[in-house]
Amino acid sequence: MPKVSYIEASGVQHIVDVGEQLSLMEGAVLNDVEGIVGLCGGICSCATCHCYIDDEWAAKLPTPSEGELTMLERAYDRRPNSRLGCQIAVTEMLDGLVVRLPAHQSND
């Protein structure tokens, strides 16, 4: 099962096993990782699953859809490496992925 490292804005790190085809958001919520909310349940309509992908991993992810880019405009502290965790499916190729979390989500 792929391991994903979620790093909170405070620096607290959670390394968790995430089932394949679950999203990064689901992997965080199911493992009680603070900092990802997933308010809309993963239908790309809340931006509370905002996260930052380390540069070394960004190119291995599918490019964001227009819908994801539009929703990211609502994200708190958006950066060039911002993504929505609900739009990224975890696969074995992402074993070791590092995901950093913002200090707040847009619902805070």
**Contact residues: ligand FES, CB under 6 A:** 25, 38-40, 42, 44-49, 71, 84, 86
Shortest distance, position 86 Cβ to ligand FES, whole Å: 3
Q: Cα(33)–Cα(26) distance, rounded to whole angstroms?
A: 10
Of the pair 11, 63, the CB lying nearest ligand FES is at 63
**80 burial via Cβ count (<10 Å: 0-12, 13-18, 19+):** exposed
Of the pair 7, 46, the CB lying nearest ligand FES is at 46
Shortest distance, position 104 Cβ to ligand FES, whole Å: 15
**93 burial via Cβ count (<10 Å: 0-12, 13-18, 19+):** exposed
Point out the residue whose Cβ comes nearest to ligand FES: 86
Return the DSSP state at 76. Answer: T
